[in-house]
Structure 1
Amino acid sequence: MKRATFLTSALVAAAATGLALTPLAAQDTGDVEAEAEAPAPPSKGEARLAKLLEGRVAGEPVRCIRTLPNQRMQTIDGTAYVYGSGNTIYVQRTRDPSAIDDNNALVTNRFNATQLCRLDITTTVDRVLGFFTGTVFFDDFVPYTRVKPDNRAEG
């Protein structure tokens, strides 16, 4: 009786976790390998960020960036926040980039008036209705600097 109860419990546990109870020879693993080799197409946000970063090289990540009241910030849905313009821009992917939404405004309680740092307390608020929508946890900011073409290599 104990053995039957154990087998029943094992079957229920296997079904709950999604384990397949078919013999290994009967499982088709060819399709799984083909799917693993094919890269997933980039999302719209990743494609937009890649276009923004064309001709730029990533630098060493930094904990804080200098910000000014008129500094440009772009929100790329589900991907990153991009700060600055000109030769160097800073990309902030956050710890949960999928939560980045252009419909939300960032509200930051800064420790320093002229810098934005990874430890600053940042929340999001709905742009239209003004209600709290979440919390943002920053990672280091990655600078991307425009590459200058080397004219000496051409001649």
Structure 2
Amino acid sequence: MRTTIVLPAIAAITACAVPVERNDDILAQALAGRTAGAAQRCVSTTPSQNIRVIDSRHVAYENGRTLWVNTLLANCPSLDPHNLVIVERGGSEICRGDRVRAAEPGAIIAGPTCNLQDWVPYR
């Protein structure tokens, strides 16, 4: 008797679940209508513009009409679109080999570091 009560409750909960977007879908939306250019080792940044997370494997930097996308070698566990991105670098450029990690809002300790790869411009 107990299972007949629990199963309908589980079915009701899963029927209301919102479908989660796959990483490919999120990336495709960010790049919609843009064309890729030649990859570059570094991009110049200004303090007023920040890197944003597209998904756990892609970060982006927008400069004017160009969206620079960096595809990491593997998923970076701490990268989430809702988290603050921290770039460990030296200078006014963000380059291949620089490290990124993210911190959840209100967190004191940031997540693990991940190495950046080349930046691909999308215009």
TM-score of the superposed pair, with normalisation by structure 1: 0.57
Moved over 6 A (4+): none
Aligned counterparts of 1:44 and 1:80: Cα–Cα separation in 2? 13
List runs of 5+ in structure 1 lacking aligned partners: 1-42, 146-155
Aligned amino acid, residue 77 of structure 1: D
| Distance of aligned partners of 1:125 and 1:72 in 2 relative to their CA distance in 1, 3 Å threshold | closer
Aligned counterparts of 1:54 and 1:74: Cα–Cα separation in 2? 17
| Distance of aligned partners of 1:122 and 1:82 in 2 relative to their CA distance in 1, 3 Å threshold | closer
Summarize the alignment of residues 116-127 of structure 1 with structure 2, pairs less than 5 Å apart: 116-127=94-105
Asked whether the equivalents of residues 82 and 91 of structure 1 are also in contact (C-alpha less than 8 Å), the reply is yes
Match of 1:74 in 2: 52
Match of 1:52 in 2: 30
Structure 2 residue 63 is matched with structure 1 residue 64: no
Residue 72 of structure 2 aligns to a residue in which SS? coil
| Distance of aligned partners of 1:72 and 1:123 in 2 relative to their CA distance in 1, 3 Å threshold | closer
Aligned counterparts of 2:84 and 2:57: Cα–Cα separation in 1? 15
List runs of 5+ in structure 2 lacking aligned partners: 1-20
TM-score of the superposed pair, with normalisation by structure 2: 0.69
Summarize the alignment of residues 13-52 of structure 1 with structure 2, pairs less than 5 Å apart: 43-52=21-30
Aligned counterparts of 1:119 and 1:90: Cα–Cα separation in 2? 16
Asked whether the equivalents of residues 53 and 85 of structure 2 are also in contact (C-alpha less than 8 Å), the reply is no
Aligned counterparts of 1:86 and 1:67: Cα–Cα separation in 2? 11
Q: Which protein has greater RCO, CA pairs closer than 8 Å, 6+ apart?
A: 2
Structure 2 residue 90 is matched with structure 1 residue 107: no
Higher helix residue share? 1
Aligned-residue sequence identity (percent) comes to: 28
Q: Deviations over 1:114-153 (max 9, x none)?
A: 21111223333333222131111111111111xxxxxxxx
Aligned counterparts of 2:23 and 2:113: Cα–Cα separation in 1? 20
Compare CA radii of gyration and give the structure with the larger one.
1
Shift of 1:93: 1.6
Asked whether the equivalents of residues 59 and 70 of structure 2 are also in contact (C-alpha less than 8 Å), the reply is yes
Aligned counterparts of 2:39 and 2:31: Cα–Cα separation in 1? 15
Asked whether the equivalents of residues 45 and 77 of structure 1 are also in contact (C-alpha less than 8 Å), the reply is yes
| Distance of aligned partners of 1:101 and 1:88 in 2 relative to their CA distance in 1, 3 Å threshold | same
Residue 68 of structure 2 aligns to a residue in which SS? strand
